[in-house]
A and B are shown apart, each in its own frame.
Chain A
Amino acid sequence: MPHIQYTFDNGEQKRLEITPELLAQNPELKTVIERTIQAAGDAAESYGESYDRSPGHDKEHDKGGGHSKEFSRSFD
């Protein structure tokens, strides 16, 4: 499950689980995380996709269906 650790000035440290329900209330973060999961899925299954001196976002590939992954599975 995606999560962050945070701390306060009083030293208290906690962990926040980022649930789909919470993300549904935060459109920017939801968009970014879903987009990165899509890209990571494509990269992991495609030889040579990880070179960062090359084009990234591929609309044609997205039109073709791409590789969608469940939200939480990619964080296991």
Chain B
Amino acid sequence: MTARRWVYLVPGRDNVATAVQALAPGDRVELEFVGSVTIGEPIAFGHKFAVTTIEAGADVVKYGHSIGQAIRPIQAGEHVHVHNVAGRRGRGDLRRTSRGEGEGG
């Protein structure tokens, strides 16, 4: 097997992929189900980029599950991290109950 540069865990369900080598603007990434994505900004090792447009408020999906929601619209190829994603859980600041809506439990 040759060294890969990104990992797209659950093709067709995840809307992010993870860089396992640093990616640069202009890099073309080929993804199962999605096709070709052009990287729009530097993505550091271990960091995520969007594989499709993610609307503000929409789930960010990795491992086939929601890992939070976009707090503003995200373009394909854009860095996805704490500046544009918020987790829904453990949010004492929002004073939600532990039985958050739609999260099971």
**A and B held together in a complex:** no
Seen from chain A, the residues whose Cβ lies within 8 Å of a Cβ on chain B are none
Seen from chain B, the residues whose Cβ lies within 8 Å of a Cβ on chain A are none
